[in-house]
Each structure stands twice: as structure tokens, then as C-alpha cells.
């Protein structure tokens, strides 16, 4: 891929893409709040244009509430909801969708303006169009996810679709972040970086799967199923990890299996980042990039701590109430994204000298 140096690239393009990356980051966090507050099924239709405006009078509020009252979640979980309760969960889902619309507006308007001003290089057009279509795909996946919780006896959206929505969001924001780095940071080849860069890619792959299983943890409401640490309900290798049939369903629908994988992947990533950091010092690469490449080590330690604290707080979960667990879970998600970005940055700057 072409690398654009800051001196030759238009700064307006760089800051526009970086601003969009920041908005996508916020969007993922808003998705976390929407999930933790149980708000995702409060809006039962996907009105791309008219849905941007919330109900403006009591009659419209009652109409929206009536639609929600037809959902399985209302009948099976929230039958005691008042209009005031509904307004609370409606706000978070509406704001999540509104922010997604704002991201789209910022992209389209910025793209047209920069194109009109001839500030976009021809080689930038294709990556930006890919970014736009990825955003549209993510929006469609979001509605497919919501629709999975509106029929049958579903109380929440399907965990697999929640995980798919989250992973596509991570892919979208990672693509935007990489594009931002290309616009903002010139790359200087570094001696002794080849092996470390390969290791970085391996770590990033592990973090990707860890994020996937974190989303499955969230989708299956699995935290409280095994709140103890370090053992899983007193066992290191729980006997019921493969109790469901067919066997593969355990990897997406068995709370204990998901716990086991998520926890042990965390230990592997922790050990891997520690080895990676030590190798940075031994190779002398750390002298070139200094403290920036130490971020993964600090973030992975914080991530493990937040995970343990969230597990410990999970018995205190109260449906439809924001408690300590929700704060910790949101911070856990935030820190996971920062860890992901720190590794993407490392892969970007660790370009080996080509002999």
C-alpha cells in the first residue's frame, strides 16, 4: 500500500480521517453503553431518515412505547416498564443510531468538499470508498442484529450477531486508524524490526479473537455465570465445557466454555506482550520509538485487572440499573480498544530495513 508522508499529504485530509476515527471510537463505546443499559431493542424499526428525530410529543412517545410493548423483551423481561423507563432505554439506542448518522454525514460531506477542492490524491479515493462501504455494511449488520431480538422468545439479540456487529465495528475503526497513520506519520525503516513486527501481527491476531470472545461473553450475559477468579467456579478445567450438542455450539453458546477461552487467551496475550516488550529492549528498537511501544505492556496489565474486577462485581448486576459492574465492563471494552490501537501502531512503525 502507498504510504503518504505528512509533508506531501493535505493536512485537511489527515485531520478529517483522524476526526472520523475518533467518532468511530466513540460510536463503539456508545454501543457498549447501549448493550449494558439493555437499550438495543427499544427502537423496533430501522428508519434511516425519519428515525433521526426522536418523539417530540406525548402522542408520539406513546406510539413508540406501544411498538416496544409488542416485543418479546417487554413481555418476558420488562412488563413493569413505565413510559419513563422506556424513554431512558430509547434515548441510548436513539443516540447510538444518531451518532452513526453523524459519522456518515461527516464522511460524505468531508469527502465531497475535499474532492471539490481537489485536496484528495487519486490514490486516496479507493481506500476512502472502501471505508464508506464498510460503514454501510456495519449499519446493515446492526439492524440484522436488532431484528434477531424482536421475534420469538428472544429477550436480547442473538450473541453471535452481537459479536459479528462488534467485530465488524472493530474492523472498520482499525481500517480508519491505519489510514490515519498513513496520512500522519512518515515511516522510517528500523533495523532488527522484522521478527518483532511478525510477533506484533501474531499478538494482534490473538487480540482480535479475544475481542470476539469478549463480545460473546457480553452477548451471552456470561460474566455472572463464573464470577470467581482464577478458577472457573472452583475448577481449572470445568467438566461441562462441552455439554451442548453439536459440540461446536459450545464455542458460541456455552457460557463456561466462553469463560475458559476468554480467560486463557488473556493469559497468553499477557505473556506474549511481556516477551514482545523484552525483545524490544534487547533489540534496541525501543530506543528508536521510545515510550510509544511500551503502551501495549501497560494496557494489557490494566486490561487483565479490569477483567478480574468486572468478574468480581458481576454478582451485583441489576437489570436496567447502572451498577459498578457496568462501569468496569465499559472500561474493560475501552481499554481493549486502546490495546488494539497500540498494536496496530506498533505494526505500522515497525518496518524492517529491506536488504
pLDDT digits (tens, 9 = 90+) for 140-177: 888 888 888 888 777 888 999 999 999 999 999 999 99
- Tens-place pLDDT, residues 235-267: 999 988 998 888 999 999 899 999 999 999 999
pLDDT for the residue numbered 353: 64
- Tens-place pLDDT, residues 320-333: 788 999 999 999 99
Q: Which residue has the cell 463503539?
A: 28
For 353, which DSSP code? P
Place 228 in a pLDDT band, splitting at 50, 70 and 90: confident
For 190, which DSSP code? B
**Those residues with Cβ within 8 angstroms of residue 66's Cβ, 6 or more apart along the chain or in another chain:** none
- Tens-place pLDDT, residues 172-208: 999 999 988 888 877 776 766 778 888 999 999 999 9
Phi/psi of residue 25, each to 5°?
-60, -45
Q: Say if residues 266 and 307 touch (Cβ distance below 8 Å).
A: yes
Q: Is 145 left (phi over 0), alpha (psi -120 to 50) or beta?
A: alpha
Q: How many CB atoms lie within 10 A of CB 229?
A: 12
Question: Residues 52-88, buried b or exposed e (16+ Cβ, 10 A)?
Answer: eeeeeeeeebeebbeebeebbbbeebbeebeeeebbe
Gap between the Cα atoms of 278 and 266, Å rounded: 18
Does position 6 have pLDDT exceeding 80, yes or no? no
Residues belonging to the chain = 355
Amino acid at each position: 500500500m502507498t504510504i503518504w508522508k505528512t509533508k506531501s499529504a493535505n493536512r485537511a485530509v489527515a485531520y478529517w480521517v483522524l476526526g472520523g476515527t475518533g467518532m468511530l471510537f466513540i460510536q463503539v463505546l456508545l454501543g457498549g453503553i447501549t448493550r449494558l443499559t439493555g437499550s438495543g431493542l427499544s427502537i423496533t424499526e430501522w428508519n434511516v431518515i425519519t428515525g433521526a428525530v426522536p418523539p417530540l410529543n406525548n402522542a408520539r412517545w406513546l406510539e413508540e412505547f406501544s411498538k416496544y410493548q409488542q416485543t418479546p423483551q417487554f413481555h418476558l423481561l420488562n412488563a413493569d416498564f413505565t413510559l419513563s423507563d422506556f424513554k431512558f432505554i430509547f434515548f441510548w439506542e436513539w443516540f447510538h443510531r444518531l451518532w452513526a448518522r453523524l459519522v456518515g454525514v461527516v464522511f460524505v460531506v468531508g469527502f465531497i468538499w475535499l474532492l471539490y477542492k481537489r485536496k484528495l490524491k487519486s490514490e486516496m479515493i479507493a481506500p476512502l470508498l472502501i471505508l464508506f462501504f464498510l460503514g454501510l455494511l456495519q449499519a446493515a449488520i446492526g439492524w440484522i442484529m436488532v431484528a434477531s431480538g424482536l421475534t420469538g422468545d428472544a429477550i436480547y439479540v442473538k450473541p453471535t450477531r452481537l459479536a459479528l456487529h462488534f467485530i465488524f465495528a472493530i474492523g472498520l475503526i482499525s481500517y480508519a486508524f491505519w489510514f490515519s497513520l498513513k496520512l500522519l506519520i512518515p515511516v522510517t525503516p528500523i533495523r532488527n524490526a522484522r521478527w518483532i513486527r511478525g510477533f506484533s501481527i501474531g499478538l494482534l491476531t490473538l487480540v482480535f479473537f479475544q475481542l470476539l470472545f469478549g463480545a460473546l461473553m457480553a452477548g451471552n450475559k456470561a460474566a455472572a455465570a463464573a464470577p470467581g477468579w482464577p478458577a472457573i467456579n472452583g475448577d481449572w478445567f470445568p467438566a461441562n465445557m462441552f455439554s451442548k450438542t453439536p459440540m461446536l455450539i459450545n464455542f458460541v453458546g456455552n457460557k463456561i466454555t466462553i469463560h475458559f477461552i476468554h480467560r486463557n487467551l488473556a493469559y497468553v496475550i499477557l505473556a506474549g506482550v511481556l516477551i514482545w516488550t523484552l525483545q524490544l529492549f534487547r533489540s534496541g528498537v525501543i530506543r528508536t520509538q521510545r515510550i510509544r511501544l511500551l503502551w501495549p505492556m501497560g494496557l494489557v496489565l490494566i486490561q487483565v485487572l479490569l477483567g478480574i474486577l468486572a468478574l468480581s462485581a458481576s454478582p451485583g448486576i441489576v437489570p436496567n440499573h447502572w451498577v459498578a459492574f457496568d462501569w468496569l465492563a465499559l472500561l474493560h471494552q475501552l481499554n481493549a480498544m486502546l490495546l488494539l490501537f497500540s498494536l496496530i501502531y506498533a505494526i505500522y512503525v515497525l518496518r524492517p530495513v529491506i536488504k
